[in-house]
Amino acid sequence: MTESKDIQDARADELSRIKRPADRLTPRQRNRILNALQKALEKRERAFFEQVIVHELGFAPGSDRYVRAMNLWDEHYEE
């Protein structure tokens, strides 16, 4: 028994909605982001880390994700 075109379309639509944005990254994009994060962690420069999370990850300043990331940075790299 084969599925109708409507069922196939509905399934594809539902699957596209539940994918996380990270799943849509190309390997090149993912590597660029990971390399930038690694460099920020190695340099231990808060401003550079902030630049990476804003420009590479798209965390808007003041958003929950941004605040959590900066809090984690501060917890681990407080001087």
Alpha helical stretches, state H, 4-79: 5-18, 27-43, 46-55, 64-77
pLDDT at 4: 74
pLDDT in tens, the chain (79 residues): 566 777 777 777 666 655 555 557 788 988 998 999 899 889 888 999 999 999 988 899 999 999 999 999 999 887 5
